[in-house]
Each structure stands twice: as C-alpha cells, then as structure tokens.
Amino acid sequence: MAAKKASESFSKTLIEEVHKWGCMKQTGVSLRYMMEFGSKPTQRNLLISGQFLHKELPIRIARRAIELESLPYGLSEKPAVLKVRDWYLDSFRDLRSFPEIKNTNDEREFTQMIKAIKVRHNNVVPMMALGVQQLKKGMDPKIVYEDLDEIHQFLDRFYMSRIGIRMLIGQHVELHNPNPPLHCVGYIHTKMSPVEVAQNASEDARCICLREYGSAPEVNIYGDPKFTFPYVPTHLHLMVFELVKNSLRAVQERYMDSDGVVPPIRIIVADGIEDVTIKVSDEGGGIPRSGLPKIFTYLYSTARNPLDEYSDLGTADTVTMAGYGYGLPISRLYARYFGGDLQIISMEGYGTDAYLHLSRLGDSQEPLP
C-alpha cells in the first residue's frame, strides 16, 4: 500500500480544523471526580458529561492525529501507522460533525457514536506495534534502540492519551447501564478487593501458561481479601496479569528441564496510607542489569512477535505468553494514569520483583500528554 498524504482522503478544511483543535487546552479529570460525578447518573449529569466529551474528545484526538503526521525515522509513512492516523481523523470528523448536545435524545445518540469510536480504535496498540516492526525491518541495524528515544517518548504519550480517551468514553457509556453491578460507578469499583483481582488475573495467566507449556508454576497470594479501595478493576487486572505472565514464563523456562521443585510466584498486597502496593516476586533467574533499561521500551522484546505482516489484525486479540513486548511499558502507563507507578528490581541469577504502586487517594489529575 502506497503511503498517502492525509489530504488525499481527508479534506483540507478537516486537516485545518484538526490543527486548530490540537492547540486547545485539554482538561484532566481525577478518579475521585469521576467517582463522585458518576455516583448519581441522572439525565442532567449524563447531559453534562456528554457535553464535556463533545468538546474534550476532539481536542485529545486532534493532538494525537497531528503527532502521527510527524514521527521521526519515517515512522509516519509506514502503512500500519497511516491506518491508525486514518482512524484518528475519522473519529475527529465524527465528533466534529455531531451537532450540539441539547437534550437527552441528543446525548443518547452521542453515546452510541462514541461507543463506535471506541470499537474503531480497539486494535490501535497491535497496529502501532506492527508499524514499529515495519520500521525496524527497514532500519540500519547499527542504530541502537536507545537512539530511538524519541519514538519511545512518542509512544508513551500516545498510549497514555489513549488510556485516558478510552477511560472517559467507557465511563460515560457504562453510566447508562440500567443495572450496574454492586458498588460500581461506571468502570470504577468503589470497594475493589486487590487480592481478589490478583487471584483472577493470576488464574488467567496460569491458563495461558498451561496452554503454552503444558504446566504452570503455582501462584501464592498474601494479603487480606476483605481489604478494599476504589479503583478500576479492568486496569488492575491487566497490570497484574502482565506481571504474573512474565514471571510464569521466566520460572517455567528456567525449570523446564530440571527435576528440582519449581518455586511458586509470590504476590503480596500491602495496604498503605498513600498507596496500595502489589509485589510480584519470582525466582525465574532475573534480568541482567544491562537489560533492565530495555524492558520498558516498545522496541525490545525477548520473545518472537506473534503479530507479523501476515497475521489478520482482526484476530490479533489472541494472547500469547510472550505478547509483542508492550506489556510492561503499557502496564506502567496504566499505573501512572491514576497517580501510581511500576518498578522492576531484579537479581540476575535469582529472580525479579515487580512493585506495582496504586494511589489510594484518587486525587491526582490524569496526566495529559
């Protein structure tokens, strides 16, 4: 597919409007505000939320569309990246051509439209991964990945912004649910048990490990299952799943041909005043110190990329143990989105500890790249 300029498939006026909206100021929302505002999903509140998104989403989407046009090393010209840019421009056009939201009917139609936008963007992460792969293929191998810092920083901003857009849309759509689950305000669970989420995520990761290797190390979880705090369970599940999956793979591969007892993975949930911290510890042999800076880059994976030029992107949701090397950097963005963080400490020759810090207070504003 030949690279086509945005102007060929989108009108000049639209591109000008994208640049105009991309200069406007974004408005961040905190977890606490989303929780308090959504706890009373009256028609008036849904209308206010719809009007806010009608103005906020085009600003956020325009910023990303502009950035997608001017990436270093010719990344913008890669077919997969052009496809992502088209999705962003289509979504911007849909939002801008939607008339002002004046009543409940308008708001309902708007909700259906942003729901469709969220689906359109489902495969952005694998598609961008494919774009980076297309870039790496044609690149001089002498270029060290550390030199690609600019691309790494762009992807951090790009994915962080995507988390925010998807959270805002998902939250608004979910507030329409006539029978919300107990203690749920949209995507937020006001009484989420981190131990319970860690158990579910570990079971999911072990299933994949069993499927791939035929066996899986045990996972032991320490912490009070009755302890709860407000958070987004899907975000936590994604992060713990990723960390446990990495640990299972490391332990499994280290002990594959050994007759010794396979050590379990240990998860400890600690409840602090500021943070809830989840530690995932394994004895999978660790990572050499020289390799540690690479684990948070998007251009490095120890595993084969399951997503290649020929795979059908429609089915790219199948999870493998190795993934496409984006699990850790994206998990760290999810942690940082609500004011937390993810740190990895490793002992080469022994194992790795991952510390997932989640902010309890929910006061921090969304980071707005």
pLDDT band at 324 (very low <50, low <70, confident <90, very high): low
pLDDT, tens digit (0-9, with 9 covering 90-100), for 55-106: 999 999 999 999 999 998 889 999 999 999 999 999 999 999 999 999 999 9
**From the centroid of its chain, how far is CA 308?**
21
Residue 242's region, left for phi above 0, alpha for psi from -120 to 50, else beta, is: alpha
Tokens at 194, concatenated: 């981190």
Q: Could you say which of 3.10.310.10, 3.40.309.10, 1.20.140.20, 2.40.50.140 is the CATH number of the domain covering 12-183?
A: 1.20.140.20
pLDDT band at 262 (very low <50, low <70, confident <90, very high): very high
Q: Percent of the chain, pLDDT > 70?
A: 89
Q: Is pLDDT above 90 for 328?
A: yes
Q: Closest by alpha carbon to 121, among 79, 152, 164?
A: 164
Q: Is pLDDT above 60 for 310?
A: no
pLDDT, tens digit (0-9, with 9 covering 90-100), for 136-156: 887 776 666 555 788 889 999
Q: Is pLDDT above 60 for 305?
A: no
Distance CA 38, CA 363 (A): 15
Q: What are phi and psi of 192, to 5 degrees?
A: -80, 130
pLDDT band at 260 (very low <50, low <70, confident <90, very high): confident
pLDDT band at 306 (very low <50, low <70, confident <90, very high): very low
pTM to 2 decimal places: 0.90
pLDDT value for 335 = 96
What is the end-to-end Cα distance of the chain in Å, rounded? Answer: 31
Q: Is pLDDT above 70 for 315?
A: no
Q: Closest by alpha carbon to 340, among 274, 281, 294?
A: 274
Q: How many residues does the chain have?
A: 369
CB count, 10 Å around CB of 134?
18
pLDDT value for 319 = 53
One-letter amino acid at 339 equals G
Q: Percent of the chain, pLDDT > 90?
A: 73
Domain spans of the chain, in order of start:
12-183, 193-359
Tokens at 81, concatenated: 């990246």
| CATH entry 3.30.565.10 includes domain 193-359 | yes
Distance CA 124, CA 118 (A): 10
Sorted by sequence, the CB contacts under 8 Å of residue 55 that are 6+ apart come out as: none
Q: Is pLDDT above 60 for 317?
A: no
* DSSP label at residue 55: H
pLDDT, tens digit (0-9, with 9 covering 90-100), for 157-176: 999 999 999 999 999 999 99
Q: Is pLDDT above 70 for 196?
A: yes
Q: Closest by alpha carbon to 75, among 126, 136, 15, 124?
A: 136
Distance CA 189, CA 12 (A): 44
Distance CA 360, CA 20 (A): 37
Within the chain, residue ranges assigned H as helices are 6-9, 12-22, 31-38, 43-69, 79-96, 104-120, 124-137, 149-174, 194-213, 233-254, 327-337
Q: Closest by alpha carbon to 217, among 182, 284, 262, 255?
A: 262
